[in-house]
Amino acid sequence: MDAVALSEERAGDVAPVSTVNRMAVAVLALIGVLISVYMSAYTFGVLGDIACGDGGCQIVQNSPWARFMGVPVPVIGLAGYSMLLAAAMLGVQPAFARSRAVPLVLAGGASIGLLFSAYLTYLEAFVIHAWCRWCIGSAILALLIFACVVPEFRRMRRSE
Amino acid sequence: MANRKKAAANSGSNMKVFYAIIAVVAVVGVGAIFYAARSGGGGMATEPLEFSAEDAGALLERARGVSVGNDDAPVQMIVFSDYMCPACAHWAGRIEQMLKAEFVETGRVHYTYYDYPLGGSFVHTFVAARAARCAGDQGRFWEYHDRLLGTQSAWMYSNSTPVNQFLQMGRDLNLDMQTFESCVRSDQHAEVVTANRLLGETLGVRGTPTIFINGRQLAEWSDYDAVRAAVQAAGGA
């Protein structure tokens, strides 16, 4: 996919900006939002049980580390993925293709998300000693999103 | 210029593909979540079961109280109670404790608890009743019952089902959490709790707590001296 976005007012004097990476971030973040909604529904008792296979998700979700500073982890994930989704959706619009805020939000959000996922994965491996498949899925998403936002770091540097 | 027009046209068609992918992921994902919510693990039963008039008789036979004390005690006492009702918390926290110490543990009263989930604004009471029964499966009904009613104000105002608080109470009692959680998050004990409520309706229970001493409804239950007098009059002296 060779997607480009042209800022309408500046289309005549600047090169097109590739937004393929932002499209990929949007799709990945949307999957993250859906996983977070599913996990939040479980946390708040909307779901009776969770599809997890070996019960690791129940162990992780009912451990003391299922909350971070009092907030359920799936809710934090929902907020983070929603922010990335919104930024990516804006970033593919011609009017926002050259916005300075979009690379900042994408790069910052993806970095924090990756660090947080690494911390949660560490807890699963070495503290809780149980694996939640949905959490692992979310960690992989965070890694992929980070890989997709690498060009945003370059855009941030160029705009300085 | 021609290249820029071509790039703009490509961009437009790519955006259509992009929006199509987003729409497909969203629709499939939301559909999967709804499906899981409706069918995942049988779902957590949060309300009494629905039953027809023809089924009522069979359901009534499934009513089961939880008893403590001497089966052959001269005084048979039963209580219909709701875990979200403040008056029930008063009964359990003050009267019931003294009653158990003075009459149940001395073999003079056989005491039986029946669920009577009031429903309405007491939206979490059915799950609470089921959770207590799940704890009862591991022999800890009364401890769990006491915790539910003793911490009532901490969970009864929750906007969503306070599953985590119910699970924490189980953890505090050192229950086997795998078993306890799968029980709470299922529809286990939904039938018996529904049956208990039906039994209460059949006996004329209209509110909670409703207490019967040897089959007669106790009018004054909020004052321990009055309850003690009623028990003694019924043969528990």
- Give per-residue pLDDT as tens, A112-145: 999 999 999 999 999 888 888 889 999 999 999 9
**Average pLDDT across chain B, whole number:** 88
Nearest by Cα to B113 from B219, B196, B47, B232: B196
| Set of chain B residues whose Cβ sits within 8 Å of the Cβ of A27 | 21-22, 25
What letter would DSSP give residue B151? T
Q: Provide the chain A residues 130-159 that lie in CB contact (below 8 A) with chain B.
A: none
Q: Give B95's contacts (C-beta < 8 A, 6+ positions apart).
A: B221, B222, B224, B227
Classified as helix, coil or strand, B77 is strand
Q: Name the residue with higher pLDDT: B6 or A33.
A: A33
Q: What's the rounded mean pLDDT across residues B193-197?
A: 95
Q: Give B185's contacts (C-beta < 8 A, 6+ positions apart).
A: A45, A47, A48, A49, B41, B44, B163
Q: Which of B8, B46, B177 sits opposite A6 (nearest CB)?
A: B8
> What is d(CA B56, CA B46) in angstroms, rounded to the nearest whole number?
20
Q: Give A35's contacts (C-beta < 8 A, 6+ positions apart).
A: A77, A134, A137, A138, A141
| Set of chain B residues whose Cβ sits within 8 Å of the Cβ of A92 | 15, 18
> What is d(CA B98, CA B93) in angstroms, rounded to the nearest whole number?
9
Say whether residue B222 is in contact with chain A using an 8 A CB cutoff. no
> What is d(CA B25, CA B34) in angstroms, rounded to the nearest whole number?
14
Q: What chain B residue is nearest to A94 in terms of C-alpha separation?
A: B11
> What is d(CA B157, CA B177) in angstroms, rounded to the nearest whole number?
24
For A148, the token pair is 């997709």
Residue A15 has pLDDT above 60, yes or no: no
> What is d(CA A155, CA A158) in angstroms, rounded to the nearest whole number?
5
Q: What's the rounded mean pLDDT across residues A68-72?
A: 89
Å from A142 to nearest chain B CA?
17
Residue A5 contacts residue B11 (beta carbons within 8 Å): yes
| Set of chain A residues whose Cβ sits within 8 Å of the Cβ of B46 | 45
∠ at Cα B161 (B158, B162), nearest 5°? Answer: 65
> What is d(CA A146, CA A104) in angstroms, rounded to the nearest whole number?
13
> What is d(CA A65, CA B27) in angstroms, rounded to the nearest whole number?
31
| Set of chain B residues whose Cβ sits within 8 Å of the Cβ of A38 | 33, 36
**Residue B235 pLDDT:** 83
Q: What's the rounded mean pLDDT across residues A60-79?
A: 87
| Set of chain A residues whose Cβ sits within 8 Å of the Cβ of B171 | 62
| Set of chain B residues whose Cβ sits within 8 Å of the Cβ of A47 | 36-37, 40-41, 43-44, 185
**Average pLDDT across chain A, whole number:** 84
Say whether residue B178 is in contact with chain A using an 8 A CB cutoff. yes
Tens digit of each residue's pLDDT (9 = 90 or more) over B41-67: 446 788 888 888 878 888 888 899 999
Say whether residue B23 is in contact with chain A using an 8 A CB cutoff. no
* Contact criterion met (CB < 8 Å) for A49 and B42: yes
Q: Provide the chain B residues 124-163 that lie in CB contact (below 8 A) with chain A.
A: 127, 160-163
* Contact criterion met (CB < 8 Å) for B25 and A6: no
Please state the φ and ψ torsions of residue B152, each to the nearest 5 degrees: -50, -50
* Contact criterion met (CB < 8 Å) for A48 and B41: yes
CB atoms within 10 A of CB B223: 11
For B68, the token pair is 């403590």
Q: Which of A3, A34, A37 sits opposite B11 (nearest CB)?
A: A3
Q: Which residue has 């162990």 as its token pair?
A: A59
Q: Is B190 exposed, middle or buried (0-12, 13-18, 19+ CB in 10 A)?
A: buried
Q: What's the rounded mean pLDDT across residues B214-233?
A: 93
Report strand pairing: B216-217 vs B210-213.
antiparallel
In 3-state terms, chain B is what percent helix, strand and coil (to 5)? Answer: 60, 10, 30
Residue A11 has pLDDT above 80, yes or no: no
Tens digit of each residue's pLDDT (9 = 90 or more) over B61-110: 889 999 999 999 999 999 999 999 999 999 999 899 999 999 999 999 99
Residue A9 has pLDDT above 60, yes or no: no
Say whether residue A44 is in contact with chain B using an 8 A CB cutoff. yes
* Contact criterion met (CB < 8 Å) for B185 and A48: yes
pLDDT confidence band for A54 (50 / 70 / 90): low
- Which of B15, B123, B134 would you mutate first to test chain A, the one with the most A CBs within 10 A? B15
In 3-state terms, chain A is what percent helix, strand and coil (to 5)? Answer: 70, 5, 25
**Residue A2 pLDDT:** 46
Q: Which residue has 């704890």 as its token pair?
A: B135
Please give the span between the terminal C-alpha atoms of chain A, in angstroms, as a whole number. Answer: 29
Residue B218 contacts residue B205 (beta carbons within 8 Å): no
Please give the ipTM for the structure prediction.
0.81
Residue A59 has pLDDT above 90, yes or no: no
> What is d(CA B193, CA B178) in angstroms, rounded to the nearest whole number?
22
Q: What chain B residue is nearest to A59 in terms of C-alpha separation?
A: B178
| Percentage of chain A modeled with pLDDT above 90 | 48
* Contact criterion met (CB < 8 Å) for A45 and B178: no
